[in-house]
Chain A
Amino acid sequence: MLFRFFILLFAIVRSVFSDEPTAGEKLFSLHIKPLFAEKCMACHGDEPEKIKSDFDMRTRESMLRGGEIFEGEVLIPGQGEESYLYILSTRAEVDLEMPPKETDQLTDKETGWIRDWINNGAPWPSDEKIADIQEEYAEGEKVVTSKALSADWQNRRYETEKLWTYRPLKVEKVPEGKHPVDWFVNRRLKEFELDYAPDASANELYRRLSFGLTGLPPNPMEAKKFKKDFKKSNNALSVYALKLMTSPHYGEHFSRHWLDVARYADSGGFANDYSRPNAWRYRDYVVRAFNEDKPYNQFVMEQLAGDEMDSTKPENLIATAFLRMGPWEQTGMSVFKETRQLWLDDVTDSVGQAFLAHAMQCAKCHDHKFDPVPTRDYYSMMAVFSTTQFAERNASFLPSESKKNFDSFTGMIQSKIASYDRQNAELQEKMNRLKKEEKGSAKVGDNGLDPGDEASQSRIFKNLIRHKIELDRVQPLTHAVYTGKTIVRKNVQGRIDMPDTPWQEGYFDTDVIYSGGDVYSLGDAVEPGGLSAAESLGGMKVSPFPQGKGKRRLALARWVVDQKNPLTARVIVNRIWSWHFGRGIAGNPNNFGGTGELPTHPALLDYLADWFMKNGWSVKKLNHLILTSNTYRRSSRHPDSKSLNEKDPKGILYARFLPRRLVAEEIRDTMLQVSGELNHDLGGIPVRPDINPEVAFQPRQIMGGTASVYEPDPLPLQRNRRTIYAEKLRGLRDPFLEAFNQPGPDISCELRESSTVAPQALTLLNAEEVQDRALAFADRLLMEKSTESTTISRAFELALGRTPSKEEISACITRWKNATKTESEKSPVARTYPGKIKRTVMAEKTGEPYDFWEFIPAFKSYRPDLQRSETDARTRGLAHVCLVLFNSNEFVYID
């Protein structure tokens, strides 16, 4: 009996004194070990052969031993304050701050853990015990993911609030009769005891609506009608929103938003910046999708896997250009395996950002530092694309696609080719005549030839390739993909034909984790798949993706648009919200992870996402819902700016409407619209507007020489189209658009930026294109033959959407009169357009400059816009006033 008592006692003692973890053990298991793993082990243990300063943090013993710089004093059990592990972590020792990166620095809380752990004797329980302690005591939330590279990561816990994006939508009921947007927004305002601003004026509202939906200024007649209707009926905004959405300009404007995300460009970038002659069909596909209100889930599916859905539909093939939108080239200087890997990385990341708001690149080399995205998920998603191959596929033109200007474009390129051919023949003849056998064992250039001629030959050769690629623009081909084996291509110059049997030639890319992101370092095998955290936390029911020759992308596409996928609807709804309000409900539309801004109105976001899916994933319907809210109507001026600044310094409560500057494209389009020059044609091959002539003629280097000059389209009607149709070359950006923050097409742009820099003022004051618009605007106004003050009123109406005050009219008339006087003393001459220009570049083979002539066929038939020499002093005088209007704050800012 006594014996049994002892056994019992022993058991109790064991449970109390041995199993019950000490404070130090708890600290270590819950905080120190994960902290070491996250912040220290990369240099002090993960790679045993590369341990920095010989300080190994894998065991207590090795830590007690210390390293190169500090020995036993690194970790003195019981003496936290004296231990260098603690001291360095507080960054008290200059040049030995640990971790070295400022962004990795530990918080006071974290350094406190280190100190307390040491003070508690620096205990180091067994792995088993650590796991037990973590299981029982850890705070935060574990997430089931595929499988991490390390056990520590697998058992990591996350702050609950940062996992919002993976959870199923939580849809609150909105009381009957309440507008859901206002219900959620006003509830939050009430919490902050902040009143909202009154409605904007009818004028302001219609301008806001018109730019917001079409990217163009209001039609003055429509604006007048709206003003009347708005006074009469509360329903006016709804009616006019619907009306504007039936305009084809709606699709043009909304496509610009999406093309920013997709990184649309008409060329491939890098050394050759070869044309992507068929990319424009994707641009028009996006315009059509918005105009037809294609359900967003279908829009996603087509872009990811249109070919795998039904490759007989041209539309489906055109859509897959999304997958190839990033910059890419393969030249003789690069290793195919590596450039193919660059694309695989690019497509994985951009699909992640565009559809799922996940910057996948963060998980390429290691499990994601903040989000539940293990590296395995990165490679699983990449494996979806490992059988995806490039091809320019046959796709007959749809009736809805514009074939305008095909002939004139082809003609222009052919005359360019012909001029090069002619030059080349002359050159060849000359070279044949002069060429001498070189002396000595190696060529040094004593071949009797002019090195400039040799350089010209290579330049002409390269430009011929470039222009011949452009000829494909009018062919029924599309920038697309197919599913098959990978074929090694050492040098890609233009069209890639679709192989007859995609599974015959080539090899299967290995679906593995590349350790450290290195394509030559093969790790664990993976299977195609999506984001495992979205599956587990979102409660998705997922069947495995096909492998081998299966339709992997189709499986991913279905996964993305699965009604239970917690990411997709939230992501697009947030984008659409940001297109209307200038900021997302979640502040980073491309990044919903833990490092992105948390949603300011999560319930609203969830409500809208759910509503969106229930309403057939219709973008137009969602727009309409948003635009008919009172939140959208608010004035940009708040009557109580003091409490506004106090309670909402960041402007995230929607107490007022945030004013915005027009984006680059809107500024150009609006000038054209106002001047009466805008050609409203829809779609078609890229147009070449006038750009700054100095930039157009500036030599730009490409591999093998200098690219041909930029040649604008010959006719005003061809050039003066909406900016969305302007050819977008990665290697030659339009400086006007760049100045106004048009993003470069190399990285996905989640939201436009708006900076104010002096070069913008220089551009709007001095650029030839702007001068031309002002002159045409003046000419248009004078055609209407009215009094001076009516002319000025009309100018304000067209440019600013309002009538001017008396003072404004008189100030403008005074300026007009004075300018007319000075203009009458000038006698402008017509601009000339050379049929050929002399250009100077450096010859690679001599390191010396050489000159050559380049023919510019476009200028043979070029018809300039209205020129100063064609107008009288009165028109030119008025053009000064028009220029001022284009430069005014009111022109570029909308309330």
Chain B
Amino acid sequence: MKQQNFIAKLSRREALYGLGTGIGSLAFSSMLQAENIHSIGPHHPAKAKRCIFLMMEGGPSHIDTFDPKPELDKRHLQRFKRSGERESAMSSGQRYFVKSPFDFLKAGKCGADFSSEWHHLKNYADDMCFYRGGQVESVNHPTACYHINTGNRFGGDPAVGSWVNYGLGTLNDNLPGFVVLPRTSYPQGGANNWSNGFLPADYQGTPLRPEGSPILDLNLPTGMTRKDQRSNLDLLAKLNGRHFKERSKQDELNARMSSYELAYRMQMEVPGILDIDGESEKTREAYGVGDSKTDSFGRKCLLARRLVEKGVRFVQAYAGNWDSHDYISRAHGSLIRSVDKPIAALLGDLKERGLLDDTLVVWCGEFGRTPDNGVRGGGTSYGRDHNPKAMAMWFAGGGTKAGHTIGATDEIGAEAVECVHHIRDVHCTWLNLLGLDDNKLNFYHAGRYKQLSQFGGKVINELIA
């Protein structure tokens, strides 16, 4: 078993979220020290100190949100056939174009494009930076989610939030640096989407579950009182103390003892942090908390603000499922409405509190959607398949170019054609805004130094103010 290096002075957070410093790295620690090529950031002055990643799982359609394609009105329901060795069953066969069921409007001084379903967010058009040049590789949900989240299409690599915390460390010793707010139902690919991968366990995303116990086993078991537990911990301390006396050089024993005291405190402190009842009625209303249509994501957005305010470095909130192969007008319509008000409130709130300038907000899914749909069951419907070549993405705050739309897709939204970048470049840009250099943020694993972009990428300067 690999044993951890012991950190002589444990910060609370290290003890709380792990002493596993040596994990995976011990084998190479000597080499790292010898060559001194392993550095942790920040690598340059950061524009953003923290990040909120609004993950629109399922693949929102750019064509029906922020990237109008009037050409599709002309081609609506025109049929064509596609085949070839490189096409999947989904993308081949009889197909037809589908126009957007939504009207579009121009918002803000910058005249950004919004589909008519966005009623609140459009007020922040001038704070947002839209990007239409992004491309990914995979058309499968789990692999594409892994790709957006970890830079690698296969599960097992560290998530962006893990890398960022690995690079920047924590702002609050009492809380995990990377918090995930998943939907009740975890995304395809599961918890691997916020895994610490080969990085030490300290950097794993901590999901705060929307129902039941927010952190697994945080609540006392049935029939156990706080007092019972305290007495048990006191006996435990006694037994451990005697055991430790003969093993005083075995530091991990001591560390394990403090992890119990911290677990005990966590049980009391975490629920308070998650309790949004303390927020004013006005605030809760603004986020859409209490309204069944917006409550779920509204809570996440409000919680995200509370968490970054308390010093959580990276919060990821999930909304979805945007996988609208059919009935796009209904499905995307209600999804947009479920996130519109909460996100608008979040941006407004961050702005009001002076947090938006150094908080990077990222909104995207794992891919975009096609301008066309496949004939299924002999019929046609308003719907779209998966599209890795064009997608919707926007940023706000954190040093991004507010009030701009960067890049473009072709006239039907099939493919990005201007300022086109692979998702790895988006990752590099993301890290760059947070003061990290993808090329310097690396970790030795399985025979080579690994990094978020996998083999390096470039910063998309057009996105940076």
Contacts and interface: CB of A to CB of B under 8 A. Distances in A.
Given A641-B249, A701-B187, A765-B263, A884 B333 contact: no
Contact of A335 (B87, B235, B257): B87
B228 A822 contact: yes
Given A590-B446, A762-B263, A765-B263, A694 B213 contact: yes
Contacts of A101: 439-440, 451, 456
A887 B215 CA distance: 19
Contacts of A337: 85-86
Nearest to B183: A842
B256 A442 contact: no
B28 interface: yes
Nearest to A371: B447
A443 B378 CA distance: 11
B155 interface: yes
B124 interface: no
Q: Lowest 9 CB-CB distances: which A-B pairs, in order? A: A755-B20, A443-B381, A359-B447, A761-B263, A332-B89, A699-B185, A847-B335, A102-B440, A445-B327
Nearest to A805: B242
A842 B192 contact: no
Interface of A: 100-103, 105, 269-271, 327, 331-335, 337, 353, 359, 361-362, 369, 438, 441-445, 451, 490-491, 520, 582-583, 587-588, 590-591, 593, 595-597, 636-638, 641, 650-651, 658-661, 663, 692, 694-695, 698-703, 706, 731-733, 735, 741, 744, 746-747, 751-763, 765-768, 771, 805, 807-808, 811-812, 815, 818-819, 822, 826, 828, 831, 840-849, 868, 876, 880-881, 883-885, 887-890, 892-893, 895
B8 interface: no
B4 to A, nearest CB: 6
Given A444-B330, A641-B249, A757-B20, A271 B142 contact: yes
Interface residues of B, number: 126
Contacts, number: 348
Contact of A451 (B189, B236, B239, B327): B327
Given A753-B1, A762-B215, A847 B442 contact: no
B2 A753 contact: yes
A868 B223 contact: yes
Contacts of B11: none
Interface string B306-323: 000000000000001111
Interface in B323-371: 323-327, 329-335, 338
Interface in B48-84: 58, 77
Interface string B251-269: 0110111011011101100
B190 A700 contact: yes
Contact of A771 (B200, B221, B338): B221
A597 B154 contact: no
A17 to B, nearest CB: 41
Contacts of A490: 88-89
Contacts of A808: 238-239, 242
Contacts of B255: 756
Given A334-B88, A766-B217, A805-B242, 10 more contacts: A101-B451, A335-B85, A595-B448, A701-B185, A756-B15, A757-B18, A758-B263, A766-B219, A845-B331, A847-B331
B437 to A, nearest CB: 7
B169 interface: no
B247 interface: yes
Contact of A595 (B216, B322, B440, B447): B447
B216 A884 contact: no
B190 to A, nearest CB: 5
A442 B232 CA distance: 65
A842 B186 contact: no
B23 A811 contact: no
A334 B139 contact: yes
A843 B321 CA distance: 8
19 contacts: A102-B37, A102-B437, A102-B440, A359-B446, A443-B381, A443-B382, A444-B327, A451-B327, A636-B247, A699-B185, A755-B20, A761-B256, A761-B260, A844-B326, A845-B330, A847-B324, A876-B223, A887-B260, A893-B253
A287 B38 CA distance: 41
Interface majority SS on A: helix, strand, loop or mixed? loop
Contacts of B222: 828, 831, 868
A846 B3 CA distance: 50
Nearest to A270: B142
Contacts of B244: 889
Interface in B18-52: 18-20, 23-24, 27-28, 30-31, 37, 39
A746 B331 contact: no
A271 B366 CA distance: 14
Contacts of B322: 847
Contact of B253 (A270, A732, A754, A889): A889
Nearest to A848: B334
B16 interface: yes
Contacts of B324: 844-845, 847
Contact of A844 (B186, B257, B323): B323
Contact of B30 (A353, A650, A876): A650
B186 A881 contact: no
A590 B448 CA distance: 12
Contacts of A663: 1
B17 interface: yes
B380 interface: yes
A332 B191 CA distance: 24
A658 B442 CA distance: 29
